[in-house]
Structure 1
Amino acid sequence: MSNIPVVLVVPYPAQGHVNPLMILSQKLVENGCRVVFLNTEFDHRRVVSSFGEQQQHSTNHDEESAVKLVSVPDGLGADDDRNDLSKLCDGLQNSMPKALEKLIEHMHLKGDNRISFIVADLCMAWALDVGRKFGIKGAIVWPASAAIFALLWSLPSLIHGGTIDSDGVILTTKETIQISPSMAEMNRGDLFWFNMGDKIDGKIIFQYLIHCCQSLNLAEWWLCNTTHELEPGALSFVPKLLPIGPLLRSYDSKFGITKAIGQFWEEDLSCMSWLDEQHHGTVLYVAFGSFTHFDQNQFSELALGLDLTNRPFLWVIREDNKMKYPHEFKGHKGKIVSWAPQQKVLSHPAIACFVTHCGWNSTIEGLSNGVPFLCWPYFADQIQNRRYICDELKVGLGFDEDQNGLVSCKEVKLKVDQILSDENTKSRSLELKEKVMNNIVKGGASLDNFNRFVKWLKQ
């Protein structure tokens, strides 16, 4: 028993961070490690309730085969809004390091799960400072693009060079910023800490990111959910950052896991049998992740636009949606669910294209399945991801807003028709799928990086 490494995995408390770190955790378990997965108490409750009955007993107790779930408080009150990321970052920074220290002490006292290594999300990199007090080494995982990692890594030099000030405010009058000659220029809007929503304090987000980046030097390994073909420029600019993507769930896991662990909402699997009834390459998959909120006007335009396309659609509308369907909306060609097993959906032959918010997980899953994109970013790095999908990879189209700042129902129909009639985009998507997926088969670059990491853990 003693030579099995016990890895503490610490994701940032948001669905788009928990997901890839949970996939990584399951891969570590499949390769002979034990994993203790740390959520905030708030997210832990969501994750456990999303299992449904069938899984609750199987995830925590089969020590050898499963990821052990543990939790600590996030420093916010019961009624605080966790979507207010500036408030969340404040809470995490002020209370979670102490709570993590107590947790590790407690586990070491009990003696059954002595932590041998910490894998922290870059947005939780302060966990490595906590680990250092116990002599525990660590790695960081960046669950977004290497380009955004390169931006964060460059913050000190951007401040030093007068591009931004120490609060992240842009000082330059230039429209674009060049981080490295090997990378495409970034737009002012790509400095995403001020794109987090009207009520969110970008300065707090910026200071939190700077604080996390200061712990980077404590990490033995820097890992990223990307591949060399996708981001050669950013990866050559930060050679220490190793691609281990695409991080995809293995549904044929020997532990018989049918549902994805780590979801905040229960997946509605009925959409899979519905997809089986549709013709190949006909269905629009419409999903905007865990944060996006539309106002009533925009929600209505999207609904009417889906009707206008006259095509079958699978639309994910979260339970927290407060919008009403417009009375003209028929929706008879579509199926609406509150949360979907996205990777399974995207790999289904009925899917024709992916209408997405361009979160990095969704981007990677779409690319891994050769599905063309219709891009509708909401905030943060999604704006840069859209430009990357449309302008660099050329496997998608963006929506244009009208003079009222709305994507109209006619625009939805126009772009759907345009992308589905474009054979070049389809063939480029399939070529890219092959390149991306070759990274995780035997001899693939990402798999080799992951295997080197596991081997190092076991030494």
Structure 2
Amino acid sequence: MAKTQTSHFLVIPFPVLGHVNPFMQFSHVVAKHGCKVTFLNTESSQKRANQAASASASASSDQTAARINFVTLPDGLDPEDERNDPLKFLFSIKTSMPPLLPKLIEEVNELDGGENKISCIVVSMNMGWALEVGQKMGIKGALLFPGSATTLACTDSMHRLIDEGIIDPQNGLPTKKQEIKLCPDMPSMDSSRLPWCTLPKPFFDHLLQEMQTLRLGSWWLCNTTHQLEPWAFSLSPKLLPIGPFIDQTTASFWQEDTDCLQWLDHHPPKSVIYISFGSLAVMDPTQFTELALGLDLLQKPFLWVVRPNNKGLVYPQEFKGCKGKIVGWAPQKKVLAHPTIACFISHCGWNSTMEGVYSGVPFLCWPFFTDQFQDKAYVCDVWKVGMGFEKDENGIITRGEIKKKVEELLADEGIRERSLKLKEMTLNNVDEGGQSSNNLNMFINWAKE
């Protein structure tokens, strides 16, 4: 009897946590649909993930996890090299990994007696080279974008913005400060807040080339819903919303402090302020001091994530922190779903934004770079489920501003109600028969045709 064909995805995230995490969640979602997944990490990224999982004792052994096989390739850097130079890291990967991928694909395809070969390669931004490899080997390809559909549509419009004189091709910066719209119904964007404007010029050049390469992907998958950012989907037929990813399985490069969940259990509903700025944002020491003292001023319980690699940050002597708990890394999805969380002070990375949205938690937005400013605009101006902070003349968010905005947010019942409505809408999309669920089923079926 002929064996039923199933989709076999080779997923290749760029090895930073903000990309690896949605790819891990995507992998678990499609594995639950009976698909096979080969997850390609760099050797250094896999090592960090294994160490964190081992320390957290969080490795999964269910049938879904059994459908996911992990493989690695070297990133081209020496073991002792620091991987915090993003350009060096990026270009090392682009040089080292493409020649090695065809052999790896052949080895994976030979497993199980050559049954169930890779049917589709799914890549993140910066890994478009793998679509070129796949095309030469006759394998379908797709992009899974780790940011919003709006950010992807904006980045895809780079050449258009250059042609219209909005962006200077010599440096990637706006020719003048102005409000722009990519389509008539879309919210306005500040030209100085375009996703690449805070990045070095070589990265702008890379993005111009990368977007051309990513056109090899038949679909551009997005961890979002159509209702959250409908204007973006009018800009490209490739964009396909399949989110939100609500699977509790996540990847981590640091040990998660699960004790914080028991700590939350001892607090009343909607009483705890959760603060986390993701895996990459770096805070100025002066700003760190103001945040610490602002939390003291509030006299409210707080859970604050301060990453282990945040070197050089010193808690001020007068900081008491007696009502709070500080952890190196937290199981964020479980934290945001906890009934004691009152609000989320966030950098507005898209993964965190989506996790807050489908948990129904109001936001206080503190963006640092790239797409985070656009995500903040959606949270505050479009969905109206959060507020932003105002900086003083020195560019600092003061302790007084922190106290003021937290108190304003917690007193705003309208924001709380809209947050819960947005939660219901996003979760309906991933229920059976929801638009995102239908899109995902269509994509899986396309991949195995």
The two structures have a TM-score, normalised by structure 2, of 0.93
Give the corresponding residue for 1:157.
160
- Indicate whether 1:264 and 2:253 are aligned: yes
Aligned with residue 226 of structure 2, among 225, 228, 236: 228
Identical positions, percent: 48
The 2-side partners of 1:86 and 1:383 are apart by: 22
Select the residue among 178, 181, 200 that pairs with 2:181.
178
Please report how far the alpha carbon of residue 442 of structure 1 lies from its aligned counterpart in structure 2 after TM superposition.
Answer: 1.6
List aligned pairs for 1:265-414, cutoff 5 A: 265-322=254-311, 323-414=313-404
Distance 2:148 2:413 in 1: 27
- Corresponding pairs, count: 444
Among 408, 415, 434, the alignment partner of 2:424 is 434
- Partner letter of residue 78 of structure 1? P
Is 1:452 matched with 2:442? Answer: yes
- Partner in structure 2 of residue 218 of structure 1: 216
How far 1:21 sits from its partner (Å)? 0.9
Q: Which amino acid aligns with 2:326?
A: I
Q: Distance in 2 between matches of 1:309 and 1:64?
A: 43
Deviates more, 1:280-289 or 1:184-193: 184-193
Structure-2 separation of matches of 1:56 and 1:369: 22
1:232 match: secondary structure: coil
How far the C-alpha of 1:168 sits from its partner, in A, is: 5.0
Tell me the equivalent position of 1:199.
none
Task: For 1:142, give the aligned amino acid.
Answer: F
CA contact (8 A) 1:36 1:68 kept: yes
For residues 176 and 159 of structure 1, the distance between their equivalents in structure 2, rounded to whole angstroms, comes to 15
Partner of 1:256: none
Match of 1:94 in 2: 95
**1:6, distance to aligned residue in structure 2 (A):** 2.1
Residues 54 and 395 of structure 1, relative CA distance in 2, 3 Å threshold: closer
The residue that corresponds to 1:254 in the other structure is none
Residues 12, 124 of structure 2: 8 Å contact kept: yes
Tell me how far 1:194 sits from its aligned partner. Answer: 3.0
Task: Describe the shift of the 1:76–1:137 C-alpha distance in structure 2 as closer, same or farther (beyond 3 A).
Answer: same
Distance 2:178 2:209 in 1: 27
What is the Cα deviation at residue 174 of structure 1? 4.2
SS in 2 for 1:215: helix
Change (3 A) 1:456 1:212: same
Q: Residues 56, 183 of structure 1: CA spacing in aligned structure 2 closer, same or farther, 3 A cutoff?
A: closer
Q: Cα distance 1:114–1:455, how it changes in 2: closer, same or farther (>3 A)?
A: closer
* Equivalent position amino acid for 1:85 in 2: P
What is the one-letter code of the residue matched to 1:44? Answer: Q
Deviations 1:17-44, CA, capped at 9 Å, x for gaps: 1111110001111111111111111211
CA drift at 1:86:
1.9
How far 1:133 sits from its partner (Å)? 1.8
Please give the alpha-carbon distance, in whole angstroms, between the structure 2 residues aligned to 1:225 and 1:316: 24
- Structure 2 regions of 5+ residues with no counterpart? none
Cα distance change of structure 1 residues 64 and 26 upon mapping to structure 2, 3 Å threshold:
closer
Give 2:166's aligned amino acid: T
Q: 1:393 to 1:327 in 2, by over 3 A?
A: same
Deviation at 1:66, TM superposition (A): 3.5
2:58 paired with 1:68 = no
- Matched residue, 2:14: 12
> What TM-score, normalized to structure 1?
0.91
Correspondence 1:29 to 2:31: yes
Structure 1 residues 171 and 325, CA gap change in structure 2 (3 angstroms): closer
Distance 1:165 1:403, change over 3 A: closer
| Counterpart-to-counterpart distance in 2, 1:450 and 1:303 | 43
RMSD, aligned α-carbons? 2.1
SS class of match (2:291): helix
Classify the secondary structure of the residue corresponding to 2:303.
strand
Structure 1 window deviating more from structure 2 (270-279 vs 449-458): it is: 449-458
Q: Measure the CA separation in 1 of the matches of 2:276 and 2:121.
A: 32
Helix, strand or coil: the match of 1:140? strand
- Partners of 1:339 and 1:427 lie apart in 2 by 29
Asked if 1:46 corresponds to 2:35, the answer is no
Deviations 1:178-217 (A, max 9, x none): 2221312211222222314xxxxx2221122222211233
Q: 1:116: how far off?
A: 2.1
Matches of 2:241 and 2:171, distance apart in 1: 27
CA shift, 1:99, in A, is 2.4
Distance 2:174 2:267 in 1: 53
Deviation of 1:237 after TM superposition, in Å, equals 2.1
Worse overlay, 325-334 or 84-93 = 84-93
1:356 and 1:64 map into 2 onto residues whose CA distance is 30
Residue identity matched to 1:178: K
1:152-195 residue CA offsets vs partner (Å, 9 max, x unmatched) = 11112222222223345235324222222131221122222231
Residue 265 of structure 1 aligns to a residue whose secondary structure is coil
Give the gaps of 5 or more residues in structure 1: 197-201, 252-259
The letter for the 1-side match of 2:298 is T
Aligned residues of 1:38 and 1:69 also touching (Cα < 8 A): yes
Rounded to whole Å, the distance in 2 between the matches of 1:293 and 1:328 is: 22
